[in-house]
Chains A and B, each alone.
Chain A
Amino acid sequence: MNATTPISSPGRRRAVRPGGRDGVWRRVQPAVAILAVALLIGMPLWIVVVTAGKTQGEALNPDLSLPTTWQYAENFAAVWEQGRVPAAFFGSLLVMVPAVIGVLALGSLASWVLARRSSRLMAVLYALAISGIVLPPAVVTVVLLLRQLGLAGTAIGMIGVYMGMYMSTVIFFVTGFIRTIPIELEEAARVDGAGPLRVFGRIILPLLAPVLSTATILICLYVWNDVFYAFFVVGGRLDTLPLNLFQVASAGLYLDNWHLIFAYVVLMSLPLLVVFVVAQRKIISGITSGAVK
């Protein structure tokens, strides 16, 4: 987003449209906005938060009422134990961090070449590289492949699968971005005798910060919350937060343990929510600047 100039600023918009006929809407709109937030977002979240603090009996039918006896501590302790939260948290991190760093590093390196060279072969390779954005991964046969490679059920196998799945997204975003960077910047460094890897590391990579942060956010979101692919690749072998939620809930629904399921949902969502609230401006502008072309 830093590479382009904003087209219109909200300040200007306000000045141009004082709006005689918009007057009524202007006064009603804040109330409508708050009501929409309260009904559509506030209510479900409220139910999660209060139910997570109830006893099993009270949580049988999750509703808006406050718990009569508060037992957050007991519920959190119970899921901490049953859902193996520490192991799941580190399992999720163990998979997410290398996958994201790996896919960004390899993806940007390839994007640089794809953006700067033009030939029919490069065009074909680029089309191939970004095809994964729409194509669904072959989730069943990847298990067979990992078994043949001796990586079945391992974190390395999972990391490889996530990298393969999100490589296309990275290459698509980064190649587009590099094309907006003037090549003269590289040439100056080249005159000083820098090799290709040095030019990439010193000149290009630092300029990619905005697009890489957008890609990081998106991929972290998908990997952190993924349960489908994790189930096939590491299900039962490695703990991740969504896999353990699935396990707690599958047992919990049978036993009507809504208080435990919701306590787990709260625990699991907290890390991402904290990151999101702290960095929401950057996240929101990063995602939108990447999406609309």
Chain B
Amino acid sequence: MTAQTTAISPMPPTRPSTSRRATARTNQGHRANHPASFLIPAFAVLGVFFFLPTIFNFVYALTDWSSFKSEIRFVGLQNFQDLISSGTLLSSLRITLVYAVLVAIFQNLFGLLLALLLERDTRINRFARVMFFIPVVMSALAAGYVFQAILKPDGAANAIIGAVVGHPVTIPWLGDTTWTLVVVALIHSWKWMGLSMLIYLAGLKTISEDVLEAARLDGASAWKTFRDIRFPLLAPALTFNVATALLGSMNGFDIVQATTGGGPARTTELLNIFVFRTFGQGLFAQATTMSLVLFVVVVALAFPVIRTLRKREEVL
């Protein structure tokens, strides 16, 4: 491979045509060649460590399980009622959804801009791509602490802005009840934008040169070529990036915990931060209930999101 990107190519695995052809032939008698018993170890692990706890989620959300007593009693929908009447459920849910949407927007915007900026295969661009991938490799917790330090009211960010505008600045980046959620979403996007960038770069590489050449000869401007040709052809990369950013940040924890811990005044308390906090207090049933809420919301969102994005691909 001459450059890291030359090897990038669309991966054809899940194409139905290939699979149907391959599998149809096997089914003509040779079941023993691919014994179903080979599925057992993987499904045993999945069943015990993934599906069983998920089923438990539905059961224990209806109990009063806590660290304060040894007995676990069935209490019906009491946990849901408590969380709804205290307003915690709706506010955590709203915060999580806003956070996820903001991350999906920022991360894709930054990733796409970086991909377009670093598209050509020059030595500087290859170096820059590696640099932008460093945050992806770093621990999210560590990244969060770094930004907590930088964004303190008397921290480096305000010092630099102060030097530019000429007078001292003390913006409480992480202490605002409205805007801190946006700041934290920006940090989350900073951490993962390198991954989105790579995927957009791979997508850009798959666009045929002939199409772009034709557009150029027709006198299309760079912007028009991007809007009408290259962006629509990036649909598979966009699907992947939006779905992973949206669903990944729904399940977010590390960056918010490291920067704000859910504050100020619990305005950045994602569902997982709530789960973490109440679990630490020994309120296991409440934590389970919130964990179930997250599960249900992700399921409810995942299928429509993926279907809509896939449909968009087909139309284009």
Contact = CB atoms under 8 A, between A and B. Distances in A.
Interface of A: 1, 3-10, 12-14, 16-17, 21-22, 29-30, 32-34, 36-37, 40-45, 47-48, 51, 61-64, 102-103, 106-107, 109-110, 112-119, 125, 128-129, 132, 134-142, 144-145, 149, 160-161, 163-165, 167-168, 171, 173, 175-180, 182-183, 186, 190, 196, 199-200, 221, 224-225, 227-228, 231-232, 241-242, 245-246, 249, 253, 258, 261-262, 265, 268-269, 272-273, 276-277, 280-281, 284-285, 287-293
Contacts of A17: 212-213, 216
A222 B4 CA distance: 23
Contact of A183 (B26, B49, B207): B26
B199 A186 contact: no
Nearest to B291: A140
Contacts, number: 370
A22 B46 contact: no
B176 interface: no
Contacts of B179: none
A12 B212 CA distance: 12
Contact of B8 (A171, A186, A285): A285
Nearest to A45: B134
A48 to B, nearest CB: 6
B88 interface: no
Interface of A is mostly: helix
Interface in B110-135: 114, 117-118, 120-122, 124-125, 127-135
Contact of A106 (B11, B41, B299): B41
B24 A118 contact: yes
B56 A249 contact: no
A114 B14 CA distance: 12
B80 interface: no
B6 A221 contact: no
Interface of B: 1, 3-15, 18-20, 22-27, 31-36, 38-39, 41-43, 45-46, 48-50, 52-54, 56-57, 60, 65, 114, 117-118, 120-122, 124-125, 127-142, 145-150, 152, 154-156, 159-160, 190, 195, 198-199, 201-203, 205-209, 212-213, 216, 222, 236-237, 240, 243, 247, 250-251, 253-254, 257-258, 272, 275-276, 279, 284, 287-288, 291-292, 294-295, 298-299, 302, 306
Contacts of B57: 138, 140-141
A178 B300 CA distance: 31
B26 A141 contact: no
22 contacts: A1-B9, A7-B205, A8-B208, A10-B6, A12-B209, A41-B134, A45-B134, A63-B156, A112-B34, A113-B38, A116-B34, A118-B24, A135-B54, A142-B49, A142-B56, A144-B65, A179-B13, A199-B33, A265-B139, A284-B133, A292-B199, A293-B240
A135 B140 CA distance: 20
A118 B60 contact: no
Contacts of B276: 228, 231
A158 to B, nearest CB: 10
Contact of B141 (A30, A116, A245): A245
Contacts of A134: 243, 247, 298-299, 302, 306
B129 A8 contact: no
A263 B142 CA distance: 11
Contacts of A136: 250-251, 291, 294-295, 298
Contact of A164 (B26, B46, B120, B240): B46
Given A107-B42, A129-B43, A8 B198 contact: no
Contacts of A231: 276
A136 B252 CA distance: 10
Query: What 7 pairs between A and B have smallest CB-CB spacing?
Result: A176-B13, A164-B49, A141-B56, A110-B42, A118-B23, A10-B121, A164-B50
Given A9-B6, A112-B34, A140-B279, A176 B147 contact: no
A186 B297 CA distance: 43
B49 A163 contact: yes
Contacts of B114: 36
A199 to B, nearest CB: 7
B209 A284 contact: no
A180 B5 contact: no
A221 B140 CA distance: 11
B156 A62 contact: yes
A12 B213 CA distance: 12
A291 to B, nearest CB: 5
Contacts of A42: 131
